[in-house]
Structure 1
Amino acid sequence: GEEFGGEPIESELVWVLDPIDGTFNYAAGSPMAAILLGLLWRGTPVAGLTWLPFMGQRYVAMDGGPVRDGDTALPPLAPSTLADSIVGIQTFNIDSKGRFPGRFRSAVLSGLSRECSRMRMHGATGVDLAYVGAGVLG
């Protein structure tokens, strides 16, 4: 994220925090914002939390354990096809430059829209990843 500071990421134990994932959403009053917290042991993720306070959802997981939605352990994800999947996509600007310019991304999204069940743009990567872990998104 945009936040920096603290112990080096390779430290024996280090917490990594994004206090507002989906900052623009939060500032606009959208509930699609999250607090992300991860624990790394020697650079390897061992525990994580995605809290969507405005949605009343809290996803947690520890290395080797199930994803939990609150106190409920979620079942392992079953294989699925792209055609049966809702795919979360990140926001973009058609005129953006960089490694993957907006026009290139637009073409990729156009092709993807023909293959997947539906696409959703939540505007917060942590929300998308939590919903993948919960089996909401494919």
Structure 2
Amino acid sequence: MSDLRSLLEVASAAVDQAASLVGRMTVGEVRPKGDRDMVSEIDLAVEEQVRAFLSRETPELGFLGEEEGATAPVKELTWALDPVDGTANLVNGIPLCAVSLGLVSGNASVLGVIDLPFLSKRFTAAQGLGAYADSVRLAPSRAIDLSEAVIAIGDYAVGPNSQQRNRMRFAITQLLAERALRVRMVGSAAIDLAWVAAGKLDASIAMSNHPWDMAAGTAIAREAGALVLDAEGAEHGLLSAATVAVAPGLRGPVLELLDDARRQADTQGGGH
């Protein structure tokens, strides 16, 4: 594998440019992208700029972006970019959005840089090098019981079969409302995962797993010491159907809740 320390410097430089662009651009035209989804001029401009920068700095690596897909061949080492994770928040003037750049090796994320342009916060990690918020080393919370846990959930499904796909999500929400201290829907998977790494959230449950959404955050959460799993408790990878990041002490309670939610959804005739 290429030198991750050097690649982390490259990723940080790319995200420097992206965050600056997000901070100074106006949202501009917002176009629909499927059912209840959107893309802004900022999304497109950031992806274009980061893709061009990385193609110059690391031409030997692949590149996958949310908006334009694999504009360089997907390889053993491939960058995965969400130019603005939380576009709906950005468009509505909510400052909870992030530039999220990860590096994928095979089936796993090995490096991540997440920048919150409107909160002036940067999260970074690379496998074996630790996870940091700016210069502060990250560690997950020590929560051991759902009754003391603040847990984030991913956005509800939209598009085809969303009613069926949301049965599991609704069941999770209901059970968290009954068992957790608080439930949060931030609207950015990157922020959810970074905040689990930092101990601000005790867990994050997303019944989805797109590499541009999750690559950076899963690398940061795992390197900080959080557990990153699929909904059945196996180690999370690019092919997982869900992304569950938890403080180590909450592994059992969260997986038990997901089992209960699955049974409840199945009883109601829903899939995942």
TM-score range, shorter chain: 0.7 to 0.9
Which residue of 1 is the match for residue 161 of structure 2?
A: 97
Match of 1:118 among 182, 192, 195: 182
Q: Which runs of 5+ in 1 are unaligned?
A: none
Which residue of 2 is the match for residue 130 of structure 1?
A: 194
Which residue of 1 is the match for residue 71 of structure 2?
A: 6
1:28 equivalent in alignment to 2:92: yes
**Distance across 2 between alignment mates of 1:102 and 1:44:** 27
Contact 2:139 2:199 in 1 (8 A): no
Larger proportion of strand? 1
Match of 2:144 among 70, 73, 80: 80
Q: Which has the higher contact order (CA 8 A, sep 6+)?
A: 1
Change (3 A) 1:62 1:100: farther
**Distance across 1 between alignment mates of 2:140 and 2:149:** 16
**Distance across 1 between alignment mates of 2:107 and 2:170:** 34
What amino acid is aligned across from residue 106 of structure 1 in structure 2? F
Change (3 A) 1:13 1:100: same
Give the C-alpha shift of residue 100 in structure 1: 4.4
User: TM-score by structure 1 length?
Assistant: 0.83
What amino acid is aligned across from residue 73 of structure 1 in structure 2? R
Change (3 A) 1:44 1:105: closer
Number of residue pairs matched by the alignment: 136
Give the C-alpha shift of residue 40 in structure 1: 2.1
Secondary structure, aligned partner of 1:102: helix
Q: Deviations over 1:30-57 (max 9, x none)?
A: 1010000011234432210111111111
What amino acid is aligned across from residue 131 of structure 1 in structure 2? W
User: TM-score by structure 2 length?
Assistant: 0.45
**Distance across 1 between alignment mates of 2:165 and 2:76:** 38
Change (3 A) 1:57 1:98: same
Alpha-carbon RMSD across the aligned residues, in angstroms, is 2.4
Larger proportion of helix? 2
Contact 1:12 1:43 in 2 (8 A): no
Which residue of 2 is the match for residue 38 of structure 1?
A: 102
What amino acid is aligned across from residue 72 of structure 2 in structure 1? E
Structure showing greater radius of gyration is 2
